[in-house]
Amino acid sequence: MEADLGKTRFLDNSTPPHIATLVLAAGLAAMSMNIFLPSLATMADYFGTSYAVMQFAVSGYLAGTAVIQIAIGPLSDLFGRRPVMLGGIVLLLAGTLICALAPNITIFMIGRLMQTGVVAGIVLSRAIVRDMVPMEEAASMIGYVTMGMSLVPMIAPTLGGVLDDLFGWQASFVAMLLAGVTVLLLVWRDLGETNTAQSASLGAQFRSWPQLLQSRRFWGYTLTATFSSGVFFSFLGGAPFVGSVILKLTPSALGLYFFTMAAGYMLGNYLSGRYARRFGIAPMMLSGNIVNVIGICTAFVFAIVGISHPFAFFGPLSLIGIGNGLTLPSANAGMVSVRPHLAGSASGLGGAITLGGGAALSVLASSVLTPETGTMPLLAVMGATVVLALAATEYVRWIDRREGSLGGDGR
């Protein structure tokens, strides 16, 4: 049944979803990404493989989500947000069960790639918000959605580390399975269809991509999101190695340090929700990237002077969470507003580019680290990435200065 976009009633799937449903659907994707991170070294020992191979559970997952997003956006524009969201969560549940029972690394990785279906929760929550409200309000609402979502990555690595210490790494995937079933039931009851102008065919959706790819603003927003989140994905690629191998942290202690990053992300998203409508999306993106620069530079200084305490690494980098919380809601709102009638496709295509870049940076970050190098190579990768993010943001601001703010033509 098609939803009335003017009204929302909780647990009524004839109306648009409550914001809590979007938070939990997106949060489920974040949980799938990071609950097991403190267990990577343990899992490598269990499967009898190297840390570099085990880290593919992160970088391969990011690459898989990049690929699946290419289909999720157009499918949701064609068939609607609701059926695609439900299908993505079902795929996650099947993959999670395979991961928990995997007898070897090959079967585990197959299950891990199946888990990528849950990225529908992130892609479609952005598109659903854009279905419901205009661009500046969408930036604020996406900020609140991701602020709530960020509670999950605050808790998930800590929970995963504790579960590993108590029951073994498989317990994280059992927790993931239970969470997935709960969210599936909630989405079934609460998510009403918000796509009131569904496309005629899937082919028509893919043929519409040139409208997006020829838009300079689409590229500006997408590259801002790619490199800003790339700083975080570089951290995801290297931080488990830094924590477990270089700093000798236990899984539960490493999970607690991941809490600082997620707490920063929550704060940044709160600020986006509060101020994006007032200041506009370009200033929010710029301020977030400046915060990222400050965090990385501070960590560089601590590394140069030889301070090796874990908080000297994780503490300054918690600012990356704040910076991304400021930048990404506005970048994503701009991305899906370039062509509002293609919001699903824009969210999927832009998200695919973002996560594809994130996967590459995650692999790069993990490959440059050894016990002898310390944290400097990782910080160098993150520093170069944030410079590119600033350049992409400045490109958007240059277009705004020349042509005015985002208009209906999306150029």
Extents of the domains making up the chain: 19-403
Choice between 208 and 353, residue whose per-residue pLDDT is larger: 353
Question: Residue 1's pLDDT band (boundaries 50, 70, 90)?
Answer: very low
pLDDT band with cut points at 50, 70 and 90 for residue 411 = very low
Which residue has 């409508």 as its token pair? Answer: 277
Which residues does residue 193 pair with via DSSP β-bridges, in sequence order? 2
Cβ neighbour number for residue 150 with a 10 Å cutoff: 27
Backbone angles phi and psi of 168, in degrees to 5: 105, 165
pLDDT for the residue numbered 106: 95
pLDDT at 408 over 60: no
Q: Find the mean pLDDT for residues 5-21.
A: 79
pLDDT tens column, 164-197: 989 999 999 999 999 999 999 999 999 888 877 6
**Residues of the chain above pLDDT 70, percent:** 90
Whole-number CA gyration radius for the chain: 20
Q: Identify which has the larger pLDDT, 203 or 86.
A: 86
In contact, 225 and 331? CB cutoff 8 Å: yes
Give pLDDT, residue 378: 92
Measured distance CA(261)–CA(386) in Å, rounded: 16
What is the predicted pLDDT for the residue at 301? 95
pLDDT for 206: 66
pLDDT tens sequence across 258-291: 778 878 888 888 888 788 888 888 999 999 999 9
| Nearest-5° Cα angle at 31, 99 to 88 | 70
Range from 158-162, 176-180, 199-203, 216-220 that averages highest in pLDDT:
176-180
- pLDDT surpassing 90 at residue 316: yes
For residue 18, pLDDT over 80 is answered with yes
Contact residues for 306 (Cβ-Cβ < 8 A; gap 6+):
none
pTM, full prediction: 0.72
DSSP 8-class letter at 117: G
Average pLDDT, the chain: 84
Least confident of 122-126, 132-136, 185-189: 132-136
The lowest-confidence range among 57-61, 96-100, 177-181 is 57-61
Q: Residue 389: what pLDDT?
A: 95
Of 121, 14, 10, 17, the C-alpha closest to 69 is: 121
Residue scoring higher pLDDT (85 or 10): 85
303 touches 326 (CB < 8 A)? no
Provide the terminal-to-terminal Cα distance of the chain, rounded to the nearest Å: 35
Q: What is the pLDDT of residue 2?
A: 46
Q: Is the CATH number 1.10.645.10 carried by domain 19-403?
A: no
Residue 227 has pLDDT above 50, yes or no: yes
Whether the per-residue pLDDT at 410 is higher than 60: the answer is no
pLDDT of residue 72: 81
Q: Is the pLDDT of residue 5 over 60?
A: no
Which candidate, 247, 280, 270, 235, places its Cα nearest to that of 396?
Answer: 280
pLDDT tens for each residue of 348-383: 788 778 878 877 887 788 788 788 788 899 999 999
In 3D, which of 262, 229, 236, 122 has the Cα closest to residue 183?
A: 122
pLDDT of residue 409: 42
User: Are the beta carbons of 116 and 211 closer than 8 angstroms?
Assistant: no
Question: Which of 111, 195, 176, 142 is CA-nearest to residue 19?
Answer: 142
Least confident of 257-261, 303-307, 394-398: 257-261
Please give the angle made by the CA atoms of 287, 29 and 393, to the nearest 5 degrees.
20
Residue holding tokens 């690494």? 313
Q: Percentage of the chain with pLDDT > 90?
A: 33
Phi, psi of 315 (to 5 degrees): -60, -60
Span 79-90, mean pLDDT?
A: 91
Of the listed ranges 169-183, 195-209, 324-338, the one predicted with least confidence? 195-209
